């Protein structure tokens, strides 16, 4: 979805216009800092917004952003959102300690330190937990993606990295999670990078993953088992 939004912006910027031709309207979902906006690929009228404020994690609009509904319960700082390529009602929100989904038809097995697997929060349920308490961004789920060709295949990234005074040895390993059943079960790999800021799935191959890190871009061709660095400049 991020790629599609970028392409739309490029097209719009390439067309001559005056500022008077761009009517803007302020819409307030009723919370605070916006962390992510995601539009359903199959129904553009349905949008999701993630909030960086406690207890305001996920909002949903079914009328193109005119009105909003808070659909998640207590949550700690939304980071990323992904929506099923086929079903606009199925969305995932990555937060500090866990990943929630609006898909209530699955039976999750990942146990959070705060709740049981599948704990309901508003119109969402927990599907993945890092197992550590919320805190610095290094402990947060930084990125989440759904494979375009199969909504059952999803990836989540725990950012990882160091935090706090270096001499205290504070830090957590970046982790890449993969599910082939929409989040009911997960496999994970600790990644040999400093942190994972963003991930992307090759739309042609579910096993090809790109990781944006503090050290550059890395690619994995086997779902995260092994990685290699891509050099942007030769």
- Give the residue extent of every domain in the chain: 2-12+31-230
What superfamily would CATH give domain 2-12+31-230? YVTN repeat-like/Quinoprotein amine dehydrogenase (2.130.10.10)
Q: Is the dihedral of CA 217, 160, 137, 223 positive or negative?
A: positive
d(C-alpha 118, C-alpha 124), whole Å: 9
| pLDDT score for 37 | 92
| SS3 category, 219 | strand
| pLDDT score for 162 | 64
Q: How many CB atoms lie within 10 A of CB 19?
A: 6
Burial class of residue 82 (count of CB atoms within 10 Å of its CB; 0-12, 13-18, 19+): buried
| SS3 category, 48 | strand
| pLDDT score for 139 | 80
In our burial notation (b when 16+ CB lie closer than 10 A, e otherwise), range 208-222 reads ebbbbbeeeebebee
* pTM for this entry: 0.81
In the block, which residue shows the tokens 């990685």?
227
| pLDDT score for 226 | 96
d(C-alpha 125, C-alpha 228), whole Å: 35
Residue 64 — left, alpha, or beta (φ > 0 → left; ψ -120 to 50 → alpha)?
left
Residue 115 — left, alpha, or beta (φ > 0 → left; ψ -120 to 50 → alpha)?
beta
Burial class of residue 151 (count of CB atoms within 10 Å of its CB; 0-12, 13-18, 19+): middle
- How distant, in Å, are the alpha carbons of 33, 72, 101, 105, 223 from that of 127? 24, 13, 7, 11, 19
d(C-alpha 29, C-alpha 55), whole Å: 14
| pLDDT score for 166 | 43
Q: Is the dihedral of CA 231, 149, 51, 127 positive or negative?
A: negative
In the block, which residue shows the tokens 């719009």?
12
The answer to whether residues 144 and 127 touch, using CB atoms and an 8 Å cutoff, is no
d(C-alpha 64, C-alpha 114), whole Å: 34
In order along the chain (234 residues), what is the average pLDDT of each group of 10 residues? 50 50 65 84 94 76 91 76 96 88 86 57 83 75 95 95 52 91 94 94 97 94 95 70
Q: What is the pLDDT of residues 18-70, one digit of tens each?
A: 545 557 767 666 656 888 999 999 999 999 998 876 666 789 999 998 898 88
Instruction: Pull the structure tokens for residue 70.
Output: 């808070």
């Amino acid at each position: 979805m991020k790629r599609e939004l970028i392409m739309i912006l490029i097209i719009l910027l390439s067309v001559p216009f005056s500022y008077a031709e761009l009517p803007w309207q302020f819409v307030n979902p009723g919370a605070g800092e916006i962390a992510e906006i995601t539009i359903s690929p199959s129904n553009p009228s349905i949008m999701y917004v993630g909030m960086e404020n406690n207890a305001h994690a996920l909002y949903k609009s079914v009328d193109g952003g005119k009105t909003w509904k808070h659909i998640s319960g207590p949550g700690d700082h939304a980071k990323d959102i992904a929506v099923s390529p086929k079903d606009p009602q199925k969305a995932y929100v990555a937060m500090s300690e866990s990943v929630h989904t609006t898909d209530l038809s699955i039976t999750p097995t990942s146990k959070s330190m705060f709740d049981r697997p599948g704990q309901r929060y508003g119109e969402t349920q927990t599907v993945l937990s890092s197992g550590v308490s919320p805190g610095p961004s290094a402990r947060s789920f930084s990125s989440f993606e759904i494979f375009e060709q199969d909504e059952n295949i999803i990836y989540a990234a725990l950012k990882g990295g160091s935090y706090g005074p270096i001499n205290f040895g504070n830090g957590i390993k970046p982790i890449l999670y993969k599910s082939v059943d929409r989040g009911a079960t997960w496999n994970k790999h600790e990644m040999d990078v400093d942190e994972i800021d963003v991930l992307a799935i090759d739309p042609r191959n579910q096993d090809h993953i790109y990781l944006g890190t503090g050290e550059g871009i890395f690619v994995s061709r086997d779902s995260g088992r092994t990685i290699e660095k891509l050099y942007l400049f030769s």
